[in-house]
């Protein structure tokens, strides 16, 4: 991973580099104009080199060196500005990616919590229906046992009446028959109501279980 300058330091160095380039350019302007380059083909190599030619060559060399230094400072300033802009862009992208990641994690967590809530609600609903079904079955069994005991008690009373007072046998039979019919009618009504409740619960449990499994 390349070293990245802090933003304030990069801006400071870029500014100083730009100022240095401007100073070098100013020095170039204060110098005499750059002499034109001498055509080697037109120069007599056997002739003595004049002081003017040497001065022109040195002046050209100074101009070229200053131009080179000016280019270094200018390129450095531009590179720092570009790199700083690129770094800022990368930091912006990284921040945006981090924000998107946090949003995605939050949405996933939120959806998970909703799913868990619905899951437990459905699970509790199925458990409540099963519990209610068991209670209805238990109540039905107790009700049948109670009615059986009532019928047994009535039959015992009929037998006692027949044994103790034969003249009341027919009357007791009729009374017992009426009571037995009434009791059977009530039992049938209660059984029908219980069956209706069991049927409703029996339809709800598979639906809840199907939704729960889904």
* pLDDT tens for each residue of 21-80: 888 888 888 888 878 776 544 455 455 556 777 777 888 888 888 888 888 888 877 777
Q: Rounded distance, CA 43 to CA 49, Å?
A: 10
Which residues lie below 8 Å from residue 10, measured CB to CB, with a gap of 6+? 80, 83, 84, 87
Cα–Cα distance measured from residue 176 to residue 157, given in angstroms and rounded to the nearest whole number: 9
Phi/psi region, residue 37 (left: phi>0; alpha: psi -120 to 50; beta: rest), is beta
Which pLDDT belongs to residue 40?
Answer: 44
Average pLDDT over residues 82-88: 63
Task: Give residue 155's Cα distance to chain centre.
Answer: 72
Nearest to 194 by CA among 152, 116, 133, 112: 133
Who wins on pLDDT, 24 or 143?
24
Which of 133, 171, 17, 169 has its CA nearest to residue 82?
A: 17
Residue 91, pLDDT score: 67
> Residue 127: is its pLDDT beyond 50?
yes
Specify whether the CB–CB gap between 104 and 65 falls below 8 A: no
pLDDT for residue 102: 80
The pLDDT value given to residue 89: 55
Report residue 179's pLDDT band, with 50, 70 and 90 as the boundaries.
confident
Most confident of 63-72, 83-92, 162-171: 63-72
Q: Output the pLDDT for position 41.
A: 46
User: Does pLDDT of 109 surpass 70?
Assistant: yes
* Integer angstrom CA distances of residue 75 from 16, 49, 69, 78, 92: 12, 37, 10, 5, 25
Mean pLDDT score of the chain, rounded to an integer?
Answer: 71
Taking the whole predicted model, whether its pTM rises above 0.95 is answered as no
128 contact partners, CB below 8 Å, separation of at least 6 = none
Name residues whose C-beta falls within 8 Å of residue 166's C-beta, 6 or more positions apart in sequence.
none
For residue 24, give the nearest of 68, 83, 55 by alpha carbon. 68
The stretch 13-20 carries a mean pLDDT of 79
Read off the pLDDT of each residue in 126-148 and give the average, rounded to a whole number.
74
**pLDDT at site 1:** 35
Surface-to-core class of residue 47, CB atoms within 10 Å of its CB (0-12 exposed, 13-18 middle, 19+ buried): exposed
* Between 138 and 171, the higher pLDDT residue: 138
Query: Looking at residues 132-154, what average pLDDT do you find?
Result: 75
Residue 74 confidence (pLDDT) = 82
């Amino acid at each position: 991973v390349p070293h990245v300058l802090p933003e304030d330091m990069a801006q400071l160095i870029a500014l100083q580099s730009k100022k240095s380039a401007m100073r070098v350019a100013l020095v170039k302007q204060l110098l005499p104009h750059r002499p034109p380059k001498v055509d080697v083909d037109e120069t007599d190599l056997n002739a003595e080199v004049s002081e003017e030619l040497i001065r022109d060559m040195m002046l050209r060399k100074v101009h070229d060196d200053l131009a080179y230094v000016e280019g270094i400072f200018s390129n450095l300033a531009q590179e720092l500005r570009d790199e700083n802009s690129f770094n800022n862009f990368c930091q912006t992208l990284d921040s945006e990616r981090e924000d998107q990641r946090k949003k995605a994690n939050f949405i996933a967590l939120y959806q998970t919590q909703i799913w868990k809530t619905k899951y437990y609600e459905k699970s509790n609903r199925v458990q409540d229906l099963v519990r209610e079904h068991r209670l209805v079955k238990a109540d039905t069994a107790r009700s049948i046992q109670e009615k059986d005991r009532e019928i047994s008690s009535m039959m015992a009373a009929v037998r006692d009446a027949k044994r103790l007072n034969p003249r009341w046998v027919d009357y007791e039979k009729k009374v017992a028959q009426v009571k037995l019919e009434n009791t059977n009618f009530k039992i049938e009504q209660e059984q029908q109501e219980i069956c209706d409740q069991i049927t409703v619960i029996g339809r709800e449990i598979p639906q809840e279980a199907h939704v729960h499994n889904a």
